[in-house]
Chains A and B, each alone.
Chain A
C-alpha cells in the first residue's frame, strides 16, 4: 500500500530526527546532569500535550563545509502544549545538535513560535542551552538574535514570557532572557555572561570560573538577573508550573481563580510583629497570615532580601505582594530593592494583578556607595511604578513609615485605592530620634542635661506623632484596623475594586527612570 509506505517513511524520518545530535552527544549531555531538549519539554508540559512544529527544518548555510552537515531540526525544538490545561508556546534549544548554536533557520524557528504565541495571546516559554551564535553562518546569526530581541520587546506586557536557562547562555544570547518577564536558573547548570572567563583572563588578567562569573547563584543573589533558583531541572519545572497557575494567559485576561481557603491559624498577625519598631520579624509570616491557605509564592527570594515580592491569592484571586522585610537590612529601600520592587509592580500592572503593599521601613539606606550607585534614579522607579499602576492598589502600614519611604510605598498620594494602618503604625516625616534632634536642637544643646533632655523630647515627639492617627485625621489613611482584621479588609477591598477604571492622559509612553 502506497499510503502505508509513505506513513512508514514519515515515521522513519521522525525517528531519525528525534535522535537529535546522536547517541554520543546525548550521553555527554546526560553526563552534565542535563536532559535533552525534547525530554525537558515533556517533563514540563502536561502529558501528551506537546505538538512539535518545524521538525524538518534544515539550515541552508554553504560556507565552511556547512553544506555537507545535517543538523536535525537545526538545533531547536518548537511547539505548543499545555501546563495544567493552560496553553503555552515553547522552544527549547538542543545542545546535542551543534552545541545548540543559533543559525538563521534556528532563529527563524524561535521567531515563528514567538509570533505564534503573540498572535494566539498565550505565554511563551524559552529553554536556553546554547553555545551562542553559529559562527559559520556569520551575520545571519546576528540577524537571528536581533529578530528575537525585537519580538521579546513587542510581546512584553502582552503575553507572559518565561525564560529557562538550562546550560550556557553567553554573549548576545543573554539579552533575550533579560528582556523576558521571569528567568529560571538551576545550580551548576545555568551559565550566563556577556564575556566569558577566557576573554576576561586575556584582557584583564583576572581569573574566574564560569560558575563564579555567571552561575545560577550569582544571578540569583548578586546580579538580580534570575528570578527563580532551583537545585535541579525537576525542581525548576515545578517552579515554572506553579508560576503558570498565578498568572493570566495574556494582558486582556485575569489570572484563573482558585477555590479560596482560610490562612493557617498558626500565623497570628498580632503575635508576629513586635511593637518596638527597631525589632525584626519575618514579613513573609504576615503575608502568610493574610493569603488563602497561607500559600505564598516568593519571587527573587535570594536577591535584595530587604524587600519581599511574590504572589498569593485573596478570595481565590491572584494578588501581587510587595513588602518591606524588617528582618533584612531593617527593610530599607536601596538601589537593588527599588529595582526589584519596581519591576514587579509593573509586571502586576501589565497583567491585571492587584497589588497589596505591606509597609514597615525606616527609609532609604544611607551611604556613599548608595548615592554613587544612583539611589536617586533607582529609588524613583518605585514612585514611577506605583503612580503609573492602574490595577487595584491596597496598602497596609504595619509599623513604621518614615519620610520618603512612606510616600514611595504605595501611599495615598501615589493613588493607592485603600490605605489601612495597624494601631502600631508610625507615619511620620522621620523617626522620633532624628526629628527630636532637629526640632528641639536648641533646647537640647542649652540644657544642663542634654541627654536627658533629648530623651524627654524624643518621648514627646513619639507620643504626638509616632502613630497612625495624625495621617488618619487627614484622610491619608482610610481605616486604622486591628491586625486580625487585615484579611477581611483586603478581601473586601479586592471585591470593591473588581471594576476599577481610571482614565490616564493619552501619551505614546512615559519615561520611567531606567
Chain B
C-alpha cells in the first residue's frame, strides 16, 4: 500500500476517515447566527449620512444611516427596538463588506 502525506480527519455520519482536506473545506467559516444588535455593511460602499448618535433610543424600522454603494443610496433601518451603544464609522468613511457600523443594545 502507498503512504500518503498531508492527511487529515473527516467525520461523515459518525465515521472518521483519513483523507486530504480541500482548501475550500479548511477555509470555510463556521455558521454564525445573525446578531441583530450588530449592524455590519452588507456591501462595500461609502457612509453618506448617519441619522443617529450614541445613546439615542431607536425603534424598529427607524433609519440609522445611508450607505452609498453600487450607485445606490441604501437606507439602513433598525430591525429591533433599542439604544445605540456604539457607532464605529463617521460620515464619508469608505467601508469594506462586513465592516462593523453600529452596535445596539
Contacts and interface: CB of A to CB of B under 8 A. Distances in A.
Interface of A: 203-206, 222, 271-272, 274, 277-282, 285, 305-306, 326-332, 336, 362-363, 365-369, 402-403, 430-434, 437
Interface in B22-53: 22, 24-25, 28, 31, 43-45
A336 B12 CA distance: 17
Interface string B45-85: 10000000000000000000000011100000000000000
Contacts of B90: none
Given A363-B13, A368-B31, A369-B28, A285 B2 contact: yes
Contacts of A363: 12-13
A431 B2 contact: no
B89 interface: no
A331 B10 CA distance: 11
Nearest to B13: A434
Among all A-B residue pairs, the 9 with the closest Cβ atoms: A330-B17, A433-B14, A368-B31, A434-B13, A362-B12, A330-B19, A431-B15, A205-B44, A434-B14
A430 B13 contact: yes
17 contacts: A204-B97, A205-B94, A222-B24, A278-B16, A278-B17, A280-B18, A305-B22, A306-B22, A329-B20, A329-B22, A330-B12, A330-B19, A366-B13, A367-B28, A368-B31, A433-B13, A434-B14
Interface of B: 1-2, 4, 7, 10, 12-22, 24-25, 28, 31, 43-45, 69-71, 94, 96-97
Given A205-B44, A272-B1, A280-B20, A434 B15 contact: yes
Nearest to B30: A368
A280 B21 CA distance: 12
Contacts of B18: 278-280
Contacts of A206: 44, 96
B10 A330 contact: yes
Contacts of A329: 10, 19-22, 25
Contacts of A285: 2
Contacts, number: 89
A432 B15 CA distance: 8
Interface of B, secondary structure class, is: loop
A134 to B, nearest CB: 27
A230 B25 CA distance: 25
B13 A204 contact: no
Contacts of B15: 277-278, 362, 431-434
A204 B41 CA distance: 12
A328 B44 CA distance: 35
A330 B96 CA distance: 36
Contacts of A331: 19
B15 to A, nearest CB: 4
A330 B4 CA distance: 13
B4 A328 contact: no
A279 B44 CA distance: 45
A271 B10 contact: no
Given A280-B7, A362-B12, 5 more contacts: A204-B97, A222-B24, A274-B1, A327-B4, A433-B15
Given A327-B19, A328-B20, A329-B19, A204 B10 contact: no
Nearest to A437: B14
A274 B20 CA distance: 16
Contacts of A204: 43-44, 69-70, 97
Contact of B2 (A278, A282, A332): A282
A132 B44 CA distance: 28
B13 A281 contact: no
Contacts of A365: 12, 25
A203 B14 CA distance: 46
B13 A362 contact: yes
A417 B4 CA distance: 34
Contacts of B2: 272, 281-282, 285
Contacts of A281: 1-2
Contact of B12 (A271, A274, A366): A366
Contacts of A282: 2, 4
A326 B19 contact: yes
Contacts of A279: 18
A271 B22 CA distance: 26
A497 B25 CA distance: 40
Contacts of B20: 280, 305, 327-329
Contacts of A336: 24
A342 B15 CA distance: 27
